[in-house]
Amino acid sequence: MSVVAIVILTTVLKVGLPVNSLTVGFLYLIVILILAASWGLPESALASVTATICLNYFFLPPFGTFRIADSQNWLALFTFLIASLIGSQLSERARRKAQEALSKQLEMERLYSLSRGIMLTDASQPVGMRIASEIAQIYNMRAVALFDYGHDSVYRAGPDDIERADDLLRDVVHRLTEWHDSETETTIGPVRSGNQIYGSLALRGHALSDTALHALRNLAAISLESERSRELATLAEAERHSERFKSMLLDGLAHEFKTPLTSIKAAASALITDTVRESGAQRELLSVIDQESERLGKLVTEAIHLSRIEAGKVQLDQTPRTIAGLVQCTVSAMDTALDGRRVDLELACPGLTTTMDFDLMQLALRQLIDNAAKYSPRRSPIRIRVTESDGTIHIGVHNAGDPLPESEHERIFDRFYRGSSIRHTVAGTGLGLAVAREILRAHGGDISVESTTESGTEFIMMLPLKKTVREPGESTAVNDGDGTNEARRRDRP
């Protein structure tokens, strides 16, 4: 290419333009510098030698020969050759510097895209998979394999696969040395930050400088370290929540158990000391002991359910029950806690029956009623409305308290979360709504909240309607929750 360019220029100057040797030398030098900037030093050096020969043969007297009559022309010719070679080298150096700067800029842009991609990709994927996928995509690698030492897992990405990748990655971690295979263009090196080792990274088909390669591994180490720190923080937070839950549960149980135990102790003491002699009064004290003992037993059962829900072990014992019985039984059991608060029941479908774990559903409904009693004016009524639509039972518990901000509608169901406006004014643990949602979801349902400034706040339990199928002549006992059974029999054909 360089020889052709010099030959073309020589032909044009010799045939078409009347120029002297000085002008020819400058024109040759311009072409040589252009070739050096475009094609590099070898092409420009070849062009320099070719231009020197052409300048001597065609433009220095005697023309058409390689002899030089004037000794000054020898000096001019060698000066031209040296100047063209030096100019070529300088132009080549400038071109190389520009390419290096462009390459570094590209590497920085890729590292930025990689870090941004790792942070913005789906967090549900392991961080090792996100790193491997982003590297393969951004750097157009044929194969990427990342060994996460903390989780002892290997994550792969790219169209190809690296043979014996698992063994090689683990071996690099143990030896803390790099491994290269020039034939397959594969490089494996440790991923570390300081003295801490996080794994190893294998790349196939890359054209990265050593600086970019080390920066890439450091970014992978930072990402793995950040993920490990988040996991440790999450674990510590879970442990703190667990300890907080246990503390709150014990405090709540101590408070709840104290009332029935005090009543039982007082009644038993009166009977033992024989201060009550009338049979009617004795029966009344025995009735108090019986009722408070039953209440105590329910509290123990509820505490067991709460601990199982906290441990994620919700086990359902489902039987056919009426929704009306569920509501009435729960309200009756909370008569003392409501302290005379009026409860308005709206049962659109009194005979509505579905399968449920009656004890757990009572616990869920009790959380909503207790929540309504806490966060509404003392003498305002609580409305419980039961409807059915499209195979779903809706049990709404409404109170006339301050509306819940829209921004807290989702967070209010998180464990230990309490509304910003009442967390310091009303006692509570922030577990009630979370427990209720876990119970509803275990039944295949869910819970939602509706809140407006005009009507207060309403929590709605949604429970799927499950109808039982009975054979002809089979008798099915449906417990309505208050201790009575309704026997139903379908006549035989």
Q: What percent of the chain has pLDDT over 90?
A: 2
Average pLDDT over residues 101-118: 75
Q: Which architecture characterizes domain 235-310 according to CATH?
A: Orthogonal Bundle (1.10)
The per-residue pLDDT for range 130-143, each reduced to its tens digit, is 888 888 888 888 88
- What per-residue string of b and e applies to 237-255 under the rule 16 or more CB within 10 Å gives b? eeeeeeeebeeebeebeee
- Show Cβ contacts of residue 86 under 8 Å, excluding neighbours closer than 6 positions: none
Query: Residue ranges per domain, the chain?
Result: 2-100, 121-207, 235-310, 319-489
Tokens standing for 107?
A: 């590497």
| Nearest CA-CA partner of 401 in 457, 340, 460 | 457
| Nearest CA-CA partner of 298 in 266, 271, 336 | 336
Instruction: Identify whether the C-beta of residue 416 lies closer than 8 Å to the C-beta of residue 430.
Output: yes
* Residue 384 pLDDT > 50: yes
- Quote the pLDDT of residue 482: 46
Kindly report whether the peptide bond that precedes residue 62 is cis, defined as omega within 30 degrees of 0.
yes
* Residue 424 pLDDT > 50: no
Instruction: Note the pTM of the prediction, 2 decimals.
Output: 0.42
Can you give the C-alpha Rg of the chain in angstroms?
43
* Residue 466 pLDDT > 80: no
Max mean pLDDT among 280-289, 399-408, 480-489 falls in: 280-289
Q: Which architecture characterizes domain 319-489 according to CATH?
A: 2-Layer Sandwich (3.30)
- What per-residue string of b and e applies to 68-86 under the rule 16 or more CB within 10 Å gives b? beeeebeebbeebbeebbe
- Quote the pLDDT of residue 109: 77
Average pLDDT over residues 202-215: 80
Q: What is the mean pLDDT of the chain?
A: 77
Query: In CATH terms, are 121-207 and 235-310 the same topology?
Result: no
Angle made by CA atoms 455, 459, 464, in degrees to the nearest 5: 135
- pLDDT tier at 247 (50, 70, 90 boundaries)? low
Q: How far, in Å, CA of 274 to CA of 271, rounded? A: 5
* Residue 236 pLDDT > 70: yes
- Quote the pLDDT of residue 305: 65
- pLDDT tier at 92 (50, 70, 90 boundaries)? confident
Instruction: Identify whether the C-beta of residue 386 lies closer than 8 Å to the C-beta of residue 356.
Output: no
- pLDDT tier at 423 (50, 70, 90 boundaries)? very low
- Range 121-207 classified under CATH 3.40.50.1460: no
Average pLDDT over residues 435-447: 85
- Quote the pLDDT of residue 416: 54
Residue 344 pairs with which residues in a beta bridge? 383
- pLDDT tier at 299 (50, 70, 90 boundaries)? low
Q: How far, in Å, CA of 391 to CA of 388, rounded? A: 7
- pLDDT tier at 72 (50, 70, 90 boundaries)? confident
Weakest mean pLDDT among 12-26, 316-330, 357-371, 472-486: 472-486
